[in-house]
Structure 1
């Protein structure tokens, strides 16, 4: 692969775009919420408890409802997940993560559609799926029987 001036310009502009995204308010909020999430001892305890219960849950699922602890593990796993999800730091992090992901999805769509209207851009967000019967971003080349 030869390095042409055109390729170098594209790479430079892509790096500039990445820098702008990294300096954005959304990226700043993401970093702050990420740091808070991993530095708060109570939040980390909730996450660890959920992971532990999730492991138990996966173990119980091998036997299904015939496992003697099936019902209690199911309930305890859901409670641990609710505790974790209701934590202020987890909620703030998820909100910041989604905001940053939206920016990246928009940029991907703009770049992809500026190349060609037929480019499939995997966003995973049904908002971006235009005239398609799938939920967007299948990337299977029509294997999911979408109309894209």
Structure 2
């Protein structure tokens, strides 16, 4: 995915969050925002029609939550990588989303640089989990 411009769909129901993400991504020419959804159902619809390389996905959204939307997008089989950007750090959210096959999980209470690091890592074929999420994963990993 690292060649060319990476097309990103943003799914979040808070305008201030959308504006902040868009402003920060605009500083990085390797990324382009191809669409914005303010609910999970619209995120699935736009992912299907726009075929973005990545989706930045909130969890708590109207019409369809981010977990269900992520599952639907993954089920489409387009190879769209999903970056969760949420305030939720409960193990049940983290573990369910990781099982879905997300590529990154970043908490909204961390620095915006975490989100940019996640986008860059995913763009280069990797994954990214912020420290609190890494701790949850290590506590719940099976030996």
Whose strand fraction is larger, Structure 1's or Structure 2's? 2
Same fold (TM over 0.5): no
Whose helix fraction is larger, Structure 1's or Structure 2's? 1
What's the TM-score once normalised by structure 1's chain length?
0.22
The one of the two structures with greater contact order (alpha-carbon pairs below 8 A, sep at least 6) is 2
What's the TM-score once normalised by structure 2's chain length?
0.22
